[in-house]
Amino acid sequence: MASEKYITSGCTISNNTVYKNGEIIFESRGTDVQSFLLSVYKHFEINYSRFYKMDNLCKLGWLASEILLKDDFKTVNYKPEEIGLILSNANSSLDTDQKYLASVRDIPSPSLFVYTLPNLVTGEICIRNNFKGEDAFFVFESFNAEFIERYVSNLLDNNNLQACICGWVELLESEYKAALFLVEKVKKENAVTFTAANMNNLFEDKSKSPEVYIAGVGVITATGNNVAECLASFEKEEAGIGEITMMNTVHRNELPVAEVKLTNKKLVEMTGLPKDISRTTLLSLVAAREALDDAAIPGLSSLRTGFVSANTVGGMDRSEAFFIDFIADNSKGKLRNVFDHECGSVTEAVADQLGITDYMTTISTACSSSANAIFYGARLIKNNVLDVVVAGGAEALTKFTLNGFNTLMILDKEFCKPFDENRRGLNLGEGAGYVVLVSEKVAKTLNDPLYCKLSGYNNSNDAYHQTASSPDGTGSYLAMTRALEKSGLHPSDIDYINLHGTGTPNNDSAEGTAVKRVFDPHYPPMSSTKSFTGHTLGASGGIEAVFSVLAIRHGIVYPNLRFETKMNELPFAPETRFLKDQKIKNVMSNSFGFGGNCTSLIFSEI
């Protein structure tokens, strides 16, 4: 009599990646087959002397079975003769046979004989686990789920077996794949019915990876010193752009910027950091601390936590102050006072204040820096390296950046007008923005509701020019379309786009062209929040990620300030009003940097 049967566990090993129940649990790039299999063996801390005597086909199947059964299978529930093994492939043991033939090609009369049948794989698994039920190995042209289902079902329905491992183990030269399924009569959590269709789905769709959620946000910009103040400025449509007040520069009263309205002295009082530390570090700590406090993660110290932070200017503000006096009189300073002003020192100082010691790294890829930091943090969680990541970036205004962008002749002497036909350039800004990314496991422990999930991301580089975007927006187009592909969404699913929108003729034309290619003829509401915050360079992706997350949480669309005239070459125009009570499920946030380094993030409602 037929009984219900379930796939209670699955393991796939392919393309230098190990998947357990649809989730990536190990990944190792750039290695040959044998090195990869050894790295899997060591990563999972398996201790079995026979492993080193196996050929690669046996190692592949045996490793897949070890990972398949780990934590999910209790042998004490079954007698040894009740557990069977039914495997298959297309090339039998051809890989080992070819290697043997090559090794004896020049020997006149080889006396060595090797016994290389594929059922050695099932034998090794049975020896390891003391399985004594039926085991068999079949050769098909391709994975034959229908046959496997019939064969295994017959064994279980007739009570020849109570549990069975079945699937595919194929290896030939550099191509390999193992896909094993544990089939039992008892339904367990997350189990699926044992059918050919479900096996095929699991066999083909191995790329499902764990979700990464946003649990906390923190931000400081010219429009506000925290999330609440920034939101209030948006609703009042008050920009943070104005005259230069913090820097002693010849461009005062000439070039508007978006300064955070706090002096270094006030920031030192807020953060408790030393008074001689860089402004970038001060801004970073304010926003990162707000994000971590907002997340309120129980037992954070017991979790694997990382800090992935971006900036492009480091401690340049302190370096500038030092060298003014030092050049005039080299007895007035010591070079040791500026040795740690590089970008990475900001990350290290903030991580130390946050108590994060498990992992820290710095991303510096121009204006896409902190967007890249966010999706790099997500990958660390998806690949089971970390449980929690504080990710984003910070940037302080300095004479170095102001003079550099002025030399490029892309600064507007008036307040910027992104995506306007008469735009003339950008206004530089400063600030910091961070999101707290958490794994599915951590998400289940939180008391406060999650904001959303990071559903898609991509970084593409068109390498068109050192600073200019390609006229047809190739990098922008690739970043947006591939982020959509990763998220599983269609262009019509996007409810709001936070444009990169710097206000320069080149950027807005290139980005607009790419948006048209992706979304034509149906365009979601879109705007550039740089009309409020200025262009915060390496911090912009983090700041605008926070704004994108808040758009989902509060159902809002931000206005594109000072927009007057639609660009001639584009069929769409940005939103000019602050919209509330909108249904915002999916938001795309664009961050496009020098050198064609283009990144798109997609945040989605849970």
Contact 499, 513 (CB under 8 A): no
DSSP state for residue 584 in the 8-state scheme? -
- How many angstroms separate the Cα of 415 from the Cα of each of 48, 255, 439, 563? 68, 9, 41, 11
Contact 56, 35 (CB under 8 A): no
> Exposed e or buried b for every residue in 278-288, given b needs 16+ CB within 10 A?
bbbbbbbbbbb
- Distance of alpha carbon 347 from alpha carbon 307, whole angstroms: 8
Contact 271, 323 (CB under 8 A): no
- Distance of alpha carbon 1 from alpha carbon 65, whole angstroms: 29
Contact 516, 346 (CB under 8 A): no
Nearest CA among 334, 397, 328, 345 for reference residue 539: 397
- Distance of alpha carbon 437 from alpha carbon 215, whole angstroms: 6
Contact 177, 13 (CB under 8 A): yes
- How many angstroms separate the Cα of 55 from the Cα of each of 14, 32, 35, 60, 90? 17, 14, 13, 9, 17
Degrees to nearest 5, angle at CA 396 with 395 and 402: 110
> How many Å separate Cα 18 from the centre of its chain?
18
| 3-class SS of residue 250 | coil
Structural Rg of the chain based on CA atoms: 29
Amino acid at 472: D
Degrees to nearest 5, angle at CA 382 with 475 and 56: 100
Q: Annotate 308-343 with DSSP letters as a single string.
A: EEE-SSTTHHHHHHHHHHHHH-TTS--GGGSTT-SH
Helix axes 540-554, 227-236, angle to 10 degrees: 70
> How many Å separate Cα 308 from the centre of its chain?
11
| 3-class SS of residue 394 | strand
Residue 145 makes CB contacts below 8 A (sequence gap 6+) with: 196, 197, 199, 200, 203
Beta-strand runs (E) in 358-501: 359-363, 388-395, 431-438, 452-461, 496-498
The residues that are catalytic are: 367, 500, 535
- Distance of alpha carbon 171 from alpha carbon 177, whole angstroms: 6
Q: How many CB atoms lie within 10 A of CB 459?
A: 22
